[in-house]
Structure 1
Amino acid sequence: MKELVESIAKALVENPDHVKVTEEENGRSLTLRLEVHPDDMGKVIGKQGRIAKAIRSVLNAAGTHQNKRVQLEIG
């Protein structure tokens, strides 16, 4: 999952070397924290949060396949 978020984020931003994803697993739940360069924050979130919502949808689908509940925090 971590690699999936990294690859999506790096494709969106202008500073891919500043993309950092941390993963915290707690039983059947998984929390991913995505950190990007401050100038790229808008690109990852998108207008009205549409890109962030799309990334979360992909993660939920992948999490369902692995029987996990996935949360994405962007900051």
Structure 2
Amino acid sequence: MKALISTIVKPLVDYPDEVEVTEKDESNKTVYHLTVHADDVGKVIGKNGRIAKSIRTIVYAASSDTKKRIYLDIM
């Protein structure tokens, strides 16, 4: 899942080397923290959060076969 998130985000940003995805597993959920360069935060979030919502939709659809809830936080 980390590879999927970074594959989606890297073409969107100006500093693809600074894209970092970390995973935190808990008992009933998995949280992915996406960290990008400060200048790229707006590009990842998009106008009115549309790009962030689209990224979350793709990630949630890809993980639909797991029992855990998946969350994506953009830092």
Residue 70 of structure 2: aligned partner: 70
Return 5+ residue gaps in structure 1 as ranges.
none
Shift of 1:66: 2.8
Which amino acid in structure 1 is aligned with residue 15 of structure 2? N
Return 5+ residue gaps in structure 2 as ranges.
none
Which stretches of structure 1, 4 residues or more, deviate above 6 A after TM superposition?
none
Q: Distance in 2 between matches of 1:43 and 1:21?
A: 16
* TM-score scaled by length of structure 2: 0.92
* TM-score scaled by length of structure 1: 0.92
How do 1:1-75 residues align onto structure 2 when only pairs under 5 Å count? 1-75=1-75
CA RMSD of aligned residues (A): 1.0
